[in-house]
């Protein structure tokens, strides 16, 4: 089966009985390979252990003055609590609640504070500059720190629009600026300015119309601008924002609470949101008096925790999302962690269902093998780890890692988002994963 897959690189896997831990089959079980987004499974366990499943992020509007006759005589402060799920609709609701609290005008300053977490310009500096899954990380995040870019050809030129869209509100923003440039490559360029992200895009790449999300590198100012626009729409006059570096004091006028952490993690595992993983990971590292300033230092804390608490003796993480390709985990480590976690947490409940497919890639309905797992994908890296029910209901725990590290290391930024050969390699890896699960589910039924 491995030879038929014709995968370059290395393959490592372990499948074990979830109840007894007895290893049923293995290959290169101790070989440490990049886990990609399977890292998020460890991050979820780390966050649940240190923050608790009921933990909620809080975003607040704080006043350091008094409200009288519709006027806030003092400063208004937008205070981030790290919420990775905060969106424009939530800020719109906060603006409406501010008006309901009696505020029509702020006579002092409008300040923004995101210092509950360090501000990090991007998750992995080695990624292409324009990919939205590699945004900044901060204590104040909005729309997963992405801005929506839309273009349409009009009379030989382009009409451009950048907005902070959500379901109910879509205010245009000036925090991101875009120019169309006559060139073929690179498709996008980025430059950081004092109060905005400056982008250019190659005219030849646009076509007639289209849209995409771009990463935001100044998340505090982004959230502040969006709130200012929404407040104005609700009849509240708010001045231009300034960044605040000290923790604010004052009275909370409005508070927005996120969903419980367990629900946030379930969505993170389903949609593989990198920002969520980094935020909950750093928050977990700092919750008990920690003071990490970088993703790597936070990941080092998670590595130490995983080795001690989950028995992952050789694991090494460089971030919490798996976007950085330098993280390493062996199949044995992953299976050990998942089996240990299953004893004390209902961790299986936050994994997503993985449908079984035939050799053509079509979903097989009512397949006897049921899988709940986390996928992981980078260029020339594919991983899958989780739980499977065999044909007779026997519970299995497994990890499958495939990686061609040499080919990955040869990738250049000029190769684009998906270098040549990546899609075919990934398809072969995923086919192998399903074939292994199908065989295990049938072979190891009691």
| Same-domain check for residues 295 and 407 | yes
Question: Same domain, yes or no, for 84 and 227?
Answer: yes
- Asked if residue 346 has pLDDT above 90, the reply is no
For residue 137, tell me if it sits in a domain.
no
Question: Are 360 and 378 contained in the same domain?
Answer: yes
Helix and strand element counts for the chain (H, E)? 10, 20
Same domain, 303 and 429: yes
What's residue 3's pLDDT?
72
Look at the chain and report how many structural domains it folds into: 3
The answer on 369 and 265 residing in a single domain is yes
**Domain boundary residue, one of 205, 232, 257:** 257
18 and 106, same structural domain? Answer: no
Structural domain includes residue 423: yes
Is the Cβ–Cβ distance between 179 and 162 less than 8 Å?
no
Residues 439 and 351 in one domain: yes
Q: Is 190 within a domain? A: yes
Would 123 be classed as within a structural domain? no
**Strand ranges inside 231-273, DSSP E:** 241-243, 251-257
pLDDT tens-digit map of 400-444: 999 999 999 888 766 677 888 899 999 999 999 999 999 999 998
**pLDDT the model gives residue 393:** 87
For residue 291, count other CB atoms closer than 10 A to its CB: 8
Question: Is the confidence at residue 4, as pLDDT, over 80?
Answer: no
Please check whether residue 124 lies inside any domain of the structure.
Answer: no
| % of the chain surpassing 90 pLDDT | 88
Query: Which helix or strand (DSSP H or E) is residue 13 part of?
Result: strand 10-17
- Give the model's pLDDT for residue 100: 97
Say if 126 falls within a structural domain.
no
Could you tell me the two tokens for 111? Answer: 């300040």
Mean pLDDT, the chain, as a whole number?
94
Phi, psi for residue 42 in degrees, rounded to 5: -70, -40
pLDDT exceeds cutoff 80 at 10: yes
Q: Are residues 411 and 302 in the same domain?
A: yes
Instruction: Please tell me the pTM assigned to this model.
Output: 0.95
Provide the 10 A C-beta neighbour count for residue 247.
10
Give the range of the structural domain holding residue 374, as residue numbers without chain letter. 2-54+260-443
Model pLDDT, residue 118: 95
Note whether 208 and 319 are same-domain residues.
no
Question: In this structure, are 237 and 195 located in the same domain?
Answer: no
Q: What is the DSSP letter of 172?
A: B
Is position 65 within any domain? yes
Lowest mean pLDDT among 54-63, 155-164, 271-280, 413-422: 413-422
Give the per-residue pLDDT at 424. 93
Q: Name the phi and psi angles at 199, rounded to 5.
A: -115, 150
Which residues are 200's β-sheet partners? Answer: 179, 189
Pair (165, 313) in one structural domain: no
Structural Rg of the chain based on CA atoms: 24
CATH number at residue 29: 3.40.710.10
Examine the domain organization and report whether 67 and 17 are in the same domain: no
Rounded to an integer, the average pLDDT of 302-331 is 97
At 361, is the pLDDT very low, low, confident or very high (cuts 50, 70, 90)? confident
Are 117 and 125 a contacting pair, CB within 8 Å?
A: no
- 140 found inside a domain: no
CATH at 229? 3.50.80.20
CB neighbours of 19 closer than 8 A, spacing ≥ 6? 395
pLDDT in tens, 239-278: 999 999 999 999 999 999 999 999 999 999 999 999 999 9
**Per-residue pLDDT at 415:** 67
The model's pLDDT over 182-211, given as tens digits with 9 standing for 90+, comes to 998 899 999 999 999 999 999 999 999 999
């Amino acid at each position: 089966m491995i030879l038929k897959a014709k995968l370059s690189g290395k393959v490592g896997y372990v499948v074990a009985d979830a109840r007894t831990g007895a290893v049923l089959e293995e290959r290169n079980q101790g070989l440490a390979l990049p886990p990609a987004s399977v890292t998020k499974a460890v991050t979820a366990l780390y966050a649940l252990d240190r923050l608790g499943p009921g933990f909620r992020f809080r975003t607040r509007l704080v006043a350091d003055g008094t409200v009288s006759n519709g006027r806030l005589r003092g400063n208004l402060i937008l205070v981030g609590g790290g919420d990775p799920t905060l969106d424009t609709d939530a800020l719109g609701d906060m603006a409406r609640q501010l008006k309901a609290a009696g505020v029509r005008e702020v006579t002092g300053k409008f300040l923004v504070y995101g210092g509950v977490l360090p501000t990090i310009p991007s998750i992995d500096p080695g990624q292409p500059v324009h990919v939205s899954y590699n945004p900044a990380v901060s204590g104040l995040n909005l729309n997963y720190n992405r801005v929506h870019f839309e273009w349409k050809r009009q009379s030989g030129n382009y009409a451009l629009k950048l907005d902070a869209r959500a379901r109910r509100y879509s205010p245009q923003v000036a925090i991101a600026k875009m120019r169309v440039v006559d060139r073929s490559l690179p498709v996008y360029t980025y430059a950081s300015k004092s109060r905005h992200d400056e982008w250019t895009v190659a005219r030849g790449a646009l076509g007639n119309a289209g849209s995409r999300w771009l990463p935001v590198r100044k998340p505090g100012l982004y959230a502040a601008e969006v709130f200012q626009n929404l407040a104005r729409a609700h009849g509240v006059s708010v001045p231009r924002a300034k960044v605040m570096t000290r923790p604010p004091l004052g009275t909370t006028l409005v508070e927005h609470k996120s969903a419980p952490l367990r629900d946030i993690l379930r969505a993170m595992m389903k949609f593989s949101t990198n920002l969520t993983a980094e935020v909950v990971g750093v928050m977990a590292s700092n919750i008990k008096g920690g003071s990490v300033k970088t993703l790597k230092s936070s990941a080092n804390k998670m590595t130490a925790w995983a080795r001690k608490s989950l028995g992952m003796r050789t694991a090494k993480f460089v971030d919490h999302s798996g976007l950085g390709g330098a993280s390493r985990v062996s199949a044995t480590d992953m299976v050990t962690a998942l089996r240990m976690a299953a004893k004390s947490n209902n961790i299986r409940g936050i994994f997503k269902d993985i449908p079984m497919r035939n050799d053509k890639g079509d979903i097989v309905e009512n397949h006897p093998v049921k899988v709940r797992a986390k996928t992981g994908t980078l260029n020339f890296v594919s991983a899958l780890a989780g739980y499977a029910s065999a044909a007779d209901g026997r519970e299995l725990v497994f990890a499958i890692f495939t990686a061609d590290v040499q080919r990955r290391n040869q990738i250049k930024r000029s190769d684009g988002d998906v270098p040549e050969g990546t899609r075919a390699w990934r398809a072969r890896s995923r086919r192998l994963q399903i074939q292994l699960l199908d065989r295990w589910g049938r072979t190891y039924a009691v």
